Amino acid sequence: MVIEGNANKVSKGIIKKVAGPLVIAEGMRDANMFDVVRVSDQRLIGEIIEMHGDRASIQVYEETSGLGPGEPVESTGVPMSVELGPGLIGSIFDGIQRPLDDIMKVSGNNLKRGVEVPSLKRDLKWDFKPKKAVGDTVVEGDVLGTVAETDIVTQKIMVPYGINGKIKSINSGSFTVEDVIAVVETETGDKEITLMQKWPVRRGRPYKEKLSPDMPLVTGQRVIDTMFPIAKGGVAAVPGPFGSGKTVVQHQLAKWAEADIVVYIGCGERGNEMTDVLNEFPELIDPKTGKSLMERTVLIANTSDMPVAAREASIYTGITIAEYFRDMGYSVALMADSTSRWAEALREMSGRLEEMPGEEGYPAYLGSRLAQFYERAGRVITLGSENTEGALSVIGAVSPPGGDISEPVSQATLRIVKVFWGLDSGLAYKRHFPAINWLTSYSLYTDTMADWFNSTVDESWMELRHNIMRMLQDEAELEEIVKLVGMDALSAGDRLKLEAARSIREDFLHQDAFHEIDTYTPLHKQFLMMKLVMAYYNSSLEALEKGADIEKIVSLKSRERIGRFKYTETAKVDEEYKNILTDLASDIENAIPKEEY
Amino acid sequence: MPKEYRTIEEVAGPLMLVKGVENISYDELGEIELASGETRRCKVLEIDGGNALVQLFESSTGINLASSKVRFLGRSMELGVSDDMLGRVFDGLGNPIDNGPDIIPEKRLDINGLPMNPAARNYPQEFIQTGVSAIDGLNTLVRGQKLPIFSASGLPHAQLAAQIARQAKVRGTSEPFAVVFAAMGITFEESNFFIESFKETGAIDRTVMFVNLANDPAIERISTPRMALTAAEYLAFDKGMHVLVILTDITNYADALREVSAARKEVPGRRGYPGYMYTDLATMYERAGRQTGKNGSITMIPILTMPEDDKTHPIPDLTGYITEGQIILSRELYRKNVMPPIDVLPSLSRLKDKGIGEGKTRADHANTMNQLFAAYARGKDAKELMVVLGEAALTDMDKLYAKFADEFEKVYVSQGYNTDRSIEETLEIGWKLLSILPRSELKRIKDEYLDKYYIEDDK
């Protein structure tokens, strides 16, 4: 590999000090910053994060109890890297890309230390189909051939970064990830290419050009798609206190977002949540491909009881894998739950290094680290001669203490992200899910995506959306008045507005993640739902003008059908929509007093 | 015989610095021998060349720098476990204090345990009937869950926890169960209340108790819950029992943690608690659960008192982020004489959806649960409005909701500490209450259940 060619000087030292996950070793003068090291005879994995003369500060990714001064430390001369190649999809890895199922075979139900297992399975053979032939000139990022990894994901085997030249040989057939599948003749000699390549996690994978996002990442979640859409290649943050449904929102996006690949990072969260994903995803069917959702998912799990230093690495491991799929021209969605735990891991290491703390004990570089991470998202033209387009969208959950987003992690995140889905414990107590507060949330993509929605779904989409938003805004103001003077003081028109807004909240924004149909709503159905609520409002308004009684309008029978429209199967929505409109029209007609002659 | 050091350089609070040590390792257990021959335990917090920073597990009273000796034992803190632990009482460090014989350990286990591989977890989904409507009906507990009780000073969390321990059962099974109880810094009276309550039901024979009372050294509390969880893991995963772990009071534990952190002069996080408190709490709470290929399970009910009734205080806040829900007790309800005073709206069981429904509880459970929540929330809103504007300002519908909210608290929540309701009874009461409202208001319930259970009369 080119990227590690400069180092490979192995340096050996001994432990001087152990304090939790921080180990300080002497005699490490030849090691590089961010080199991976093996600590003690148990060969625990660590990374150099500071150098003073020949003393290296090492964060160890495994439990350090039992280590003491005098034990050996060996630098491997390479930075922390991940293995990229067939076998990623459907796997569950720990924070430093060790497959948890293989660890289980070695160490049983509990995680023991010093387990060495390769990231990608070495014994599996993959069918490689070449797309290039001997004599072809290739540049870095060019697709040499493909491997059908699952029924829905075809992995493209790309020429690694830094290799340009002529193909000397290329084979087709069945290979393990370590077998040589092609040889490329370059100016610096022949380079052997395998199905697998490596990449250092702390460095973004290169691309040709970054573009502005131009289309939404459709998620099937109404409040997101309609009100606060996220773009393909965009970044979003979901902050919320505990119990407000952050994880359910993340799971819903991982399940239903219209992405080719989903990378889900469980960073310092509950073990059972990862188990839930592991159990549930294989059984869920992707509405687009008809295959199991697990066949497009990569999981990274560093649960809250796993070593804290690996938590810091898990985010980078995940995003590097995501970038690799982006480079193949896929649309990739990455969910990180939760970035606050990552920041806390950073704080813990910073504290042990005795650095001068910034706000609330977080290191001063918290903001820049977060920014670096989120900036790895985006829509790009990938390397290679074909100018393929790939996109990487990132959705990060934030867990602010006490739900108060004035804390450093939330604030640093908000400076970077374009979409903010603010979760509200008040809504959660009322069991209004997803508890995304429509008044505090925002999406800076709303306007840039307007053309796409108007041309793809319906030309009145944006107008409807604005009307709905205005209605909710008005509701908040009217609620204030009601609190002061009571419902009776409102005009009939205002009462109708409150009723319509309630319908928007209960019949449209409220979405049941555990209902088999309601869990995912295609855009067309979302559009019809908006139209129904607005149809109720507009025709009622007309009826009021014609002298109808507000009490009658409020208790129209057809409103119940509007409320149940969300549970209508996708195939039947158009028919049901028409029926409800007819019903509504006749109900309204009946509510209008007949003029007597 | 391990090497002895007479080189204690300083003792400050729970920390001690020993110089010139050799061949010792991080997290190693040590023993201090006082001039009187008394021994106390400690562990290595940090090792820098020949200097070891050591944390005491017991009080530092009487340690003399010149005459005390330190030995390092070459292993970390361990607990000897065996079947015979059932029915016994231990102190916070695992020594028997019930005048019974010492335990002859079947094996010795590191009290820190090992993280569970997420790939080896079994998702908790067996319904536990606690007999408490506000829990069974609305915030259902399942086997392998960690569901804390957020209480506050002066609220009856002990009664509720004891009630759960007494009544909890998985219906239709007779698998072996056990209770592991860890008391951290609670009063003798509170601890005695639990003991008496276990005795009353005969559960004491299947209970292991680790007791650190308010007047025991605070520093001992750091190891107490880990002792308890080690015993629980042994009983659950080695012996195949279903273990209910009650930890009380987490607030005292966190304060002990803060004490050590402050003594080490670490950069504090919020309110002086260490930045790693999340990780520290998680390594305890996450030991609850089920494993593939194992029969047993650990269900955990940690109890914590929220300082100033403040849910955003770091202790309840971090706990809430780790545990699978929370049961919150409310002072307001307690004053209204609602027993147990469970505030159902902010309470939550994250695992309830997998534990309820047909074959587990009843098919209409999920629907009625959501409807009860929504109706109670609206009823409370209406009552709030009533306080400001008077009853006349409410619409007729809101008046009904207000009535519903009152009845709900009185009948559904306030059942007393001795009533053991089956899930069917709980659901029936729920339907009776919902029938206060007109059928058209019950939007969250499917028609088929409304047809079957809705009580249509005197409207």
| pLDDT exceeds cutoff 80 at A200 | yes
Q: How many CB atoms lie under 10 A from the CB of residue B78?
A: 18
* Average pLDDT, integer, range A271-283: 87
Rounded-to-integer distance, Cα B106 and Cα B88, Å: 16
- State the count of interchain CB pairs (< 8 A) between A and B: 208
Tell me which chain B residues have a C-beta less than 8 angstroms from the C-beta of A242.
317, 320-321
**Nearest CA distance, A102 vs chain B (angstrom):** 10
Which among B312, B325, B344 is positioned nearest to A241, based on CA atoms? B312
Is the ipTM, as predicted for this complex, more than 0.95?
no
Per the CB < 8 A criterion, the answer to whether B93 and B58 are in contact is: yes
Q: Are A265 and A257 in contact (CB under 8 A)?
A: no
Nearest CA in chain B to A240: B321
Task: Give the residue carrying structure tokens 């969300």.
Answer: A566
Residues 6+ apart with CB under 8 A from A306: A94, A95, A111, B115
**Tokens coding A457:** 């779904």
**What tokens were used for A262?**
């989903």
B80 min Cα distance to partner chain A (Å): 19
B350: nearest Cα among A224, A246, A421: A246
> What is the pLDDT, as a whole number, of residue A461?
95
Backbone phi and psi for residue B35, each to the nearest 5 degrees, phi listed first: -55, -30
Nearest in space to B382 (alpha carbons), one of B396, B399, B366: B399
Average confidence (pLDDT) over A262-277: 91
Please state, in angstroms and rounded to a whole number, the distance separating the CA atoms of residues A321 and A466.
38
pLDDT of residue A136 exceeding 50, the answer is yes
A130: part of which helix (H) or strand (E)? strand A126-130
The H or E element spanning position B44 is strand B39-48
Q: What would the mean pLDDT of A303-326 be, rounded to a whole number?
A: 93
Taking residues A384-388, what's their average pLDDT?
A: 92
Cβ-defined contact of A92 to B346 (cutoff 8 Å): no
- For A248: left if phi > 0, alpha if psi spans -120 to 50, otherwise beta; the answer is alpha
Mutate to test the interface with A, among B237, B279, B280, B330 (most CBs of A within 10 A): B279
Q: Are A136 and A167 in contact (CB under 8 A)?
A: yes
Q: Cα(A33)–Cα(A77) distance, rounded to whole angstroms?
A: 9
Residues of B in contact with A270 (CB under 8 A): 286, 322, 324
Cβ A152 vs Cβ A295: under 8 Å: yes
A276: nearest CB among B123, B346, B370? B123
For B314, name the nearest residue in chain A, comparing CA atoms only: A401
Give just the sign of the alpha carbon dihedral A523, A524, A527, A532.
negative
Contact check, Cβ <8 Å, A272/B124: yes
**Closest to A339 (Cα-Cα) out of A262, A412, A427, A438:** A412
Instruction: Give the separation between CA A466 and CA A454, rounded to whole angstroms.
Output: 13
Residue A9 has pLDDT above 70, yes or no: no
Pick from B18, B117, B139 the residue to mutate for testing the A interface (most A CBs within 10 Å). B117
- Residues A403-418 have a mean pLDDT of 92
DSSP states of B46-88: EEETTEEEEEESS--TT--TTT-EEEE-SS--EEEE-GGGTT-
Amino acid at B300: M
Chain centre distance of CA A389: 19
Taking an 8 Å cut-off on Cβ atoms, the answer to whether B119 and A92 are in contact is yes
Strand partners, A392: A332, A378
Q: What SS3 class is residue B222?
A: helix
Q: Is B166 helix (H, G, I), strand (E, B) or coil?
A: helix
Using CB atoms, which residue from A110, A348, A563 is nearest to B114?
Answer: A110
Which residue of A64, A431, A514 is in closest CB contact with B374?
A: A431
**Do the chains contact at B395 and A487, CB–CB below 8 Å?**
yes
Bridge partners, residue A191, by sequence: A184
Strand B177-186 with B242-248, pairing: parallel
Cβ–Cβ of A348/B353 closer than 8 Å? Answer: no
Q: How far is CA A167 from CA A179, A185, A208, A518, in A?
A: 16, 6, 22, 52
Per-chain mean pLDDT for chain A? 91
Residue of B nearest to A506 (CA): B443
Omega within 30 of 0 (cis) for the link into B68 = no
Question: Helix, strand or coil for residue B191?
Answer: helix
> Chain A: nearest CA to B141, how far in angstroms?
14
**Å from A381 to nearest chain B CA?**
36
Q: Dihedral, CA atoms, A417, A419, A421, A422, nearest 10 degrees? A: 60
Q: Average pLDDT of A242-265? A: 91
Element (H, E) at B434: helix B423-434
How far, in Å, CA of A125 to CA of A87, rounded?
Answer: 10
Q: Are B175 and B290 in contact (CB under 8 A)?
A: no
Q: How far is B384 from chain A (nearest CA, A)?
A: 9
Those residues whose C-beta lies under 8 Å from the C-beta of residue B426, and which sit 6 or more positions away, are: B133, B136, B137, B412
At A508-544, the pLDDT tens digits run 999 988 888 999 999 999 999 999 999 999 999 999 9
- pLDDT of A3 > 70? The answer is no
Portion of chain A with pLDDT greater than 70, in percent: 98
* CA nearest to B49 within chain A: A16
For residue A361, give the chain B residue with the closest CA: B269
The predicted structure's pLDDT at residue B268: 84
A325 Cα to chain B: minimum distance (Å): 24
Cβ <8 Å between A430 and B373: yes
C-beta separation of A353 from A50 below 8 A: yes
Determine the pLDDT at residue A430: 82
Contact B116 A109 (CB under 8 A): yes
d(CA A302, CA A313): 9
Compare CB distances from A486 to B144, B287, B393 and report the shortest one's residue: B393
Low-confidence ranges of chain B (pLDDT < 50): 459
Interface test mutation site (partner B, options A112, A244, A270, max chain B beta carbons within 10 A)? A270
Smallest Cα distance from A395 to chain B, Å: 19
Q: Of A111, A271, A488, which has the smallest distance from its Cβ to B393's Cβ?
A: A488
Sign of CA dihedral B389, B391, B396, B399: positive
Q: Between chains, do B278 and A304 touch, taking CB under 8 Å as contact?
A: yes
DSSP assignment of B317-363, as one string? HHHHHHSSEEEEB-HHHHHTT-SS-B-TTT-EETTHHHH-STTTS-T
pTM of structure: 0.92
pLDDT value of residue A1: 36
One-character DSSP codes across B249-301: -HHHHHHHHHHHHHHTTPPB-GGG-BTTHHHHHHHHHTT-EEETT---EEEEE
**d(CA A500, nearest CA chain B) in Å:** 16
Chain A residues with CB-CB distance to B313 below 8 A: 402
Which chain A residue lies closest to B279 (C-alpha atoms)? A304
pLDDT band, very low/low/confident/very high, at A2 (cuts 50, 70, 90): very low
Q: Is the pLDDT of residue A6 over 70?
A: no
Asked if A110 lies within 8 A of B115 by C-beta distance, the reply is yes
Distance CA B431, CA B425 (A): 10
A304 CB neighbours in chain B (<8 A) are: 278-279, 282-283, 285-286, 322
Residue A308 has φ and ψ, to the nearest 5°, of: -70, -30
Tens digit of pLDDT for each residue in A204-238?
999 999 999 999 999 999 999 999 999 999 999 99
Give chain B's length.
459
Q: State which H helix or E strand residue A410 sits in.
A: helix A408-414
Digit-coded pLDDT (tens) for A416-439: 999 999 999 889 888 889 999 999
Q: Could you tell me the pLDDT band of residue A577, with boundaries at 50, 70 and 90?
A: very high
Contact A402 B294 (CB under 8 A): no
Q: Contact, A334 vs A393, CB < 8 A?
A: yes
Amino acid letter for position A395: I
| Gap between the Cα atoms of A105 and B392, Å rounded | 69
Report the pLDDT value the prediction gives residue B51, as an integer from 0 to 100: 94
The pLDDT of residue A416 is: 93
Distance between first and last Cα of chain A: 92
* Minimum distance, in Å, between the CA of residue A276 and any CA atom of chain B: 6
CA distance linking residue A537 with residue A550, whole number of Å: 12
How far A275 CA sits from the closest chain B CA (Å)?
6
Helix (H) or strand (E) holding A496: helix A492-503
| Rounded alpha-carbon distances, angstroms, from residue A10 to A36, A82, B127, B135, B313 | 10, 20, 56, 59, 48
Separation between Cα atoms, residue B291 and residue B124, nearest integer Å: 10
Quick check: B373 and A17 CB within 8 A? no
The DSSP bridge partners found for residue A130 are A145
CB B179 within 8 A of CB B197: no
Map residue A116 onto helix, strand or coil. coil
> Which residues of chain B are within 8 Å of residue A309 when distances are taken between CB atoms?
none
Question: What are the residues facing A211 on neighbouring strands?
Answer: A379
Closest-CA residue in chain B for A561?
B443
Name the strand (E) or helix (H) holding A274.
helix A271-280
What are the structure tokens assigned to A456, written together?
């793809």
B116 contacts A305? CB cut-off 8 A = yes
Q: Which residues are within 8 A (CB) of A354 and not within 5 positions of it... i.e. 6 or more apart?
A: none
pLDDT tens-place string over residues B360-416 = 999 999 999 999 998 999 999 899 888 888 888 788 889 999 999 999 999 999 999
